[in-house]
Structure 1
Amino acid sequence: MFELLPPLNDRNLPWMDTIHPIVVHFVIAMALISVVFDLIGRFGRRPALFEVSFWNLLVATVAIFVAIIFGQIEAGLASPYGEASTILNLHSTLGWSLAGVLALLSGWRYVIRSRDPLQLPPAFLGAGALLSVLVVVQVLLGNQLVWVYGLHTVPVVEAVRAGLV
């Protein structure tokens, strides 16, 4: 069965480059801008931004599942070493948790929007703040995996294949 899969390249991937970071940047941007639009809409008295925020949140929710699929595949091919495996496990767990949080917030936001699209309760803004903190922590973990441990970078893949790491 494994002979049906394409060979791994110099980044230890079956495709040209990592796809997870590409997709996850959409999630990061849309989730955070959703919170920003909520804040501007609420405190700037511009309720039209609530609609923009809702759609950004919805797209972020869909995109995070695509990011998780590629993230899980690429994590399985990463050959983490030392502390990188602990960080990778935490990053994966937080990613799945963020998917749940985004799904819950999207559902909650849909109900709020259905009842009164021009109002946003303060509790939802608090949940948005929590979402922002989780996203920032997740970004820091992902950055550490790439920029400190070099997962899926050519020099690290070569070192792992040579048995140096």
Structure 2
Amino acid sequence: MMDMNIEIIPNYHPIFVHFTIGLLSVSGLLYLLGSILKKENLFIAARWNLWIGAVLTVGTVIAGFDAYNTVGHDAASHAAMTDHKNWALPTAGIFLALAVWAACKQRGAKAVSPIFVGIIVLASVLLAVTGYKGGEVVYRHGTGVMSLPEIQGDGGHGSHDHGGARDHHEAEKQPQQEDEHDHSAHEH
């Protein structure tokens, strides 16, 4: 029988955050394109992306606080996590406010206020900075990831085997050879 216990290492923040960033970024882009192209269907899609992204933002922030308080880290990682959190909370607040604004003022609207579009474009820039800072926490500081095995050799592709019959770098260097398959013995 299949084991249904799923271990999430270290927590759910990485799962929520990617959906949040994707949906909210697409929302900002669709609002901008909708205002330029004057296409109502773009505004409809933008609103749905914003609303779904806003709901996921709540889960992202909750999971982010869980990560902030439970993931092992050193002083430099803590500073990076705090910087990320300090960008994330106002950015989340702006998007949540925009979602409420859109729900109250834009239902069925064929156009959207240029002020709203300007704010969501600015919020999308803040979201990109926040995402960058979150990436720094993980990829520069290694926070929340399992440790790598000890690196042998130069650490590049030449220091290990990829498990294939031939080194894939050697295969790239060699010209393609004719198929050595004997076609006379059987039909295809």
Shared fold per TM-score greater than 0.5: yes
Residue number among 85, 101, 120 corresponding to 1:128 in the alignment: 120
Matched residue type, 1:120: V
Structure number, greater radius of gyration? 2
Match runs of 1:65-80 below 5 Å: 65-80=58-73
1:81 to 66, 74, 78: 74
CA contact (8 A) 2:33 2:42 kept: yes
TM-score, length-normalised on structure 1? Answer: 0.79
SS of equivalent to 1:154? coil
Shift of 1:15: 3.6
Count of residues in Structure 1 that have an aligned counterpart in Structure 2: 142
Q: Runs of 4 or more off by more than 6 Å in structure 1?
A: none
Q: How does 1:5-154 map to 2 (within 5 A)?
A: 15-17=7-9, 18-114=11-107, 117-154=109-146
Gaps of 5+ in 1: 1-13, 157-165
- 1:23 aligned partner, one-letter code: F
Q: Which amino acid aligns with 1:124?
A: F
CA-to-aligned-CA distance 1:141-163 (integer Å, 9 cap, x gap): 1100110100122228xxxxxxx
Q: Of the two structures, which has the highest relative contact order with CA contacts closer than 8 Å and spacing of 6 or more? A: 1
Residue 16 of structure 1: CA displacement?
2.8
For residues 152 and 83 of structure 1, the distance between their equivalents in structure 2, rounded to whole angstroms, comes to: 14
Residue 82 of structure 1 and its aligned partner are, at CA, apart by 2.7
Listed as ranges, the gaps of 5+ residues in structure 2 are 1-5, 149-188
Supply the distance in 2 between the matched residues of 1:106 and 1:152 (Cα, whole angstroms): 30
CA deviations 1:71-129 (Å, max 9, x no partner) are: 11122122221322111112123222222111111121123314x61011111111011
Instruction: Give the Cα–Cα distance (whole angstroms) in 2 for the partners of residues 69 and 107 of structure 1.
Output: 19
Q: Secondary structure at the match of 1:83?
A: helix
Instruction: Give the TM-score, by structure 2 length.
Output: 0.70
Give the Cα–Cα distance (whole angstroms) in 2 for the partners of residues 94 and 37 of structure 1: 23
